[in-house]
Amino acid sequence: MNNTTPATVNCRVHGRQSTNYACQHVVQSLNNGIPQGFWWSASSGNDARPVAWCNACEAEVNEFGEWNETYQATANIMPLCEKCYELAKAMNIKKKQKKWWHVWKSLSTSSGRSTGRDGRSS
Ligand SMILES: [Zn+2]
Ligand SMILES: [Zn+2]
C-alpha cells in the first residue's frame, strides 16, 4: 500500500520468494539445525514476517535497549526467503522449548541427586 516494492530473493531451495530478514544466527540455524531462538519486535504487529533474531541477539538488544550499530553488526541481519523464514521460525521456536526442557531437566537431576539412576549399578 505504500510504495514499498516487495523485494524478492532467489532461494537455493525454494526459488524466487518474497524477501524476509533475520539475524545471521537464525539463518545459520537453518543450515546447521541448531535452534537459536526466534524473536521479533512486538511493534511489528501487522507484519506477517517481521525481522527476526535469535536469543543471543535478543540479549544484546535488551542490554543496549535499542537497535544500534554494535547490535546490527552482531546480528548481521540477512535476507532469506519467506519459506526459509517460516522453517526457521517453526524450527527455532519448537526445538528451543523442547531443548530447554531437556537441559533444565538434566541439569536439575544431575546436580540435585547424582545418586539416582545413571545406568551404572554396582
Ligand atoms: Zn542472532
Ligand atoms: Zn528458501
What are the pLDDT digits (tens) for 19-69?
999 999 999 999 999 999 999 887 766 788 999 999 999 998 888 777 778
CA of 121 to the centre of ligand 1 (A): 43
Phi-psi region of 98 (alpha: psi -120 to 50; beta: other; left: phi over 0): alpha
Looking at the CA of 11, name the nearest ligand.
2
Q: What is the pLDDT of residue 73?
A: 86
Ligand 2 centroid, distance to 16 Cα (angstroms): 8
Average pLDDT, the chain: 79
Nearest of 99, 89, 117 to residue 27 by alpha carbon? 89
Which of the ligands is closest to the CA of residue 83? 2
pTM of the model: 0.69
